């Protein structure tokens, strides 16, 4: 009985030894295969990118003006395309032109107003005394009225229209700033999604190689099929992330085409380091009071104030100089001489409508004045938030970059420990790969979010177009 047990033990030991030798030879063949040489080859572009980031703290200052100017030039070119294409900007410009025409219309009211009319020969009927036709005046009449004194009604109306035109111009400038901000933020989003797509594609390639490797191993050792399932699941996640980034790229391109009419952005700077920063952020808070939206609110308030004064002046007596004459066109009609006189008119009673109009104009002026404070407070808050977010997110992106460098070492070590020493599980390798990928994505996302906040800060200060170098 004991001898039988010894024989079984010997046979089992032989089987285990043979199986181990077979599996070891399989691992050895995998070890000597191309997996070692090319598993991380797709990260060559990432290594170049890392070098750029590593030198960012030292050498960026030397070539900062070249790289940042290149990005700003591209942003400015697309923003100008949006200016010429966007219907909202053309609408705002047409509104400004219409407001200037209103100013000219108000100015024309100061000059003599000449009216010409034609009167037919009157027909007399019914009871009452009849007038001889020779004593009737009919024919071509000329009537000229010139305002002499109107308590400043015309001048106040002109001022109101002028302020309205200035408000319309400020509205156009505000729309232009907003259009440029939308273009810049969408371009930033497009560049971010392109970078994430490249990272995701690199992650997919690594997972495909890992799945192929585990597939070869599972053919030798059927007990490792579960590892193949884990790797395939991580591959599907990587492909889903890549497809999501591609979809967001298309969304950004569609939105940009709506704004600019341009469908291709292949020349968009693709580097994950645009090297943009805020110049003199404290000055942006001072520039808020010169933002087109604030200027628009100020001019609207002044326009409503002058309109209220004009309404009040219209309720007072008006003095006009009148010149009139009727030239008869029928034979025998009586011809009057030229007549000139001063005419005073005063609307004494209007059922309270004049007072109501004056009160409404004053209240509109008050509401417009309140909007100045509203706009300045809102814009100041947004600029402060943008400045804080820029600093915070750039710091975070630098931290993520250091984390990317460390997790890159960890994933490579884990892979070698799993592949050669078998001291790590496949789950450790997959987790390290996912952590590295997620840190890369977080680095890119926070950096481009910082760029978007740079655009937001300049836009809310009304200086984005000036910073881009466009009018």
Closest to 420 (Cα-Cα) out of 213, 140, 233: 213
Q: What is the pLDDT of residue 139?
A: 77
Question: Burial level of 155, CB count in 10 A (0-12/13-18/19+)?
Answer: middle
Q: How many CB atoms lie within 10 A of CB 312?
A: 19
Q: What does the alpha-carbon distance between residue 456 and residue 278 come to, in Å, rounded to a whole number? A: 11
**Between 213 and 63, residue with greater pLDDT:** 213
Q: What does the alpha-carbon distance between residue 101 and residue 86 come to, in Å, rounded to a whole number? A: 23
Q: What is the pLDDT of residue 82?
A: 92
Contact 447, 397 (CB under 8 A): yes
Contact 296, 311 (CB under 8 A): no
For the cut 50, the answer to whether the pLDDT of residue 26 exceeds it is: no
Q: What is the pLDDT of residue 449?
A: 94
Mean pLDDT on 188-212: 92
Distance of CA 181 to the CA centre of its chain: 4
Q: What is the pLDDT of residue 55?
A: 31
199-213, 217-231, 335-349: segment of lowest average pLDDT: 217-231
pLDDT range class, residue 311, cuts 50, 70, 90: confident
42-51, 130-139, 271-280: segment of lowest average pLDDT: 42-51
Mean pLDDT on 82-101: 92
Compute the C-alpha angle 135/139/141, nearest 5°: 105
Q: What is the pLDDT of residue 40?
A: 66
pLDDT range class, residue 258, cuts 50, 70, 90: very high
For the cut 80, the answer to whether the pLDDT of residue 264 exceeds it is: yes
- CA quadruple 160, 163, 169, 171: dihedral sign: negative
Q: What is the pLDDT of residue 42?
A: 54
Its pTM stands at 0.79
Q: What does the alpha-carbon distance between residue 349 and residue 106 come to, in Å, rounded to a whole number? A: 26
pLDDT range class, residue 53, cuts 50, 70, 90: very low
CA atoms within 13 A on the CB side of 250: 5
Q: What is the pLDDT of residue 332?
A: 60
DSSP string, 344-400: EE-----TTHHHHHHHHHHHHHHHHHHHHHHHHHHHHHHHHHHHHHHHHHHHHHHHH
Mean pLDDT on 262-280: 83
Q: What does the alpha-carbon distance between residue 172 and residue 157 come to, in Å, rounded to a whole number? A: 23
Closest to 59 (Cα-Cα) out of 70, 67, 47: 67
Q: What is the pLDDT of residue 133?
A: 66
Q: How many CB atoms lie within 10 A of CB 135?
A: 8
Q: How many CB atoms lie within 10 A of CB 168?
A: 24
For the cut 60, the answer to whether the pLDDT of residue 196 exceeds it is: yes
Q: What is the pLDDT of residue 64?
A: 39
Please compute Rg for the chain using Cα positions: 41
Q: What does the alpha-carbon distance between residue 29 and residue 69 come to, in Å, rounded to a whole number? A: 52
Q: What is the pLDDT of residue 38?
A: 59
Which residues have CB under 8 Å from 177's CB, separation 6+? 291, 292, 459, 462, 464, 465
């Amino acid at each position: 009985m004991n001898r039988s047990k010894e024989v079984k033990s010997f046979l089992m030991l032989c089987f285990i030894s043979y199986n181990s030798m077979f599996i070891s030879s399989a691992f050895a063949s995998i070890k000597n295969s191309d997996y070692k040489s090319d598993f991380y080859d797709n990260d060559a572009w990432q290594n170049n990118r890392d070098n750029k980031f590593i030198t960012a703290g030292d050498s960026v200052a030397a070539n900062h003006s070249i790289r940042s100017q290149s990005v700003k030039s591209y942003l400015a070119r697309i923003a100008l395309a949006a200016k010429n294409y966007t219907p909202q900007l053309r609408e705002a410009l047409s509104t400004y032109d219409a407001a200037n025409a209103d100013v000219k219309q108000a100015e024309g009211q100061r000059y003599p107003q000449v009216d010409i009319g034609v009167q037919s020969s009157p027909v007399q009927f019914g009871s009452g005394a009849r007038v001889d036709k020779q004593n009737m005046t009919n024919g071509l009449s000329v009537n000229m009225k010139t305002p002499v004194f109107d308590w400043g009604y015309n001048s106040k109306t002109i001022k109101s229209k002028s302020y309205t035109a200035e408000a319309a111009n400020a509205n156009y400038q505000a729309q232009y700033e907003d259009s440029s901000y939308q273009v810049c933020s969408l371009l930033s989003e497009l560049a971010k999604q392109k970078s994430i797509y490249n990272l995701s594609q690199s992650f997919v390639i690594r997972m495909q190689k890992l799945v192929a490797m585990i597939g070869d191993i599972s053919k030798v050792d059927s007990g490792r099929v579960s590892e193949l399932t884990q790797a395939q699941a991580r591959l599907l996640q990587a492909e889903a992330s890549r497809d999501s980034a591609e979809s967001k790229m298309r969304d950004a391109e569609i939105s940009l085409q709506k704004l600019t009419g341009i469908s291709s952005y292949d020349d968009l700077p693709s580097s994950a380091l645009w090297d943009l920063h805020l110049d003199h952020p404290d000055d942006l808070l001072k520039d808020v009071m010169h933002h087109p939206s604030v200027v628009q609110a100020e001019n609207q308030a002044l326009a409503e104030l002058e309109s209220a004064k004009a309404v009040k002046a219209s309720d007072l007596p008006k003095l006009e100089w009148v010149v009139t004459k009727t030239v008869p066109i029928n034979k025998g009609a009586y011809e009057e001489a030229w007549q000139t006189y001063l005419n005073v008119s005063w609307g004494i009673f209007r059922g309270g409508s004049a007072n109501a109009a004056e009160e409404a104009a004053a209240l509109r002026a008050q509401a417009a004045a309140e909007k100045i404070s509203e706009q300045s407070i809102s814009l100041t808050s947004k600029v402060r938030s943008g400045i804080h977010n820029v600093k915070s997110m750039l710091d975070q992106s630098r931290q993520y970059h250091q984390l990317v460098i460390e997790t890159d070492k960890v994933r490579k070590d884990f892979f070698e420990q799993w592949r050669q020493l078998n001291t790590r599980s496949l789950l450790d390798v997959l987790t390290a790969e996912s952590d590295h990928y997620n840190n890369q994505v977080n680095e890119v996302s926070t950096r481009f979010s910082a760029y978007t906040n740079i655009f937001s800060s300049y836009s809310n200060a009304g200086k984005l177009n000036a910073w881009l170098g466009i009018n």
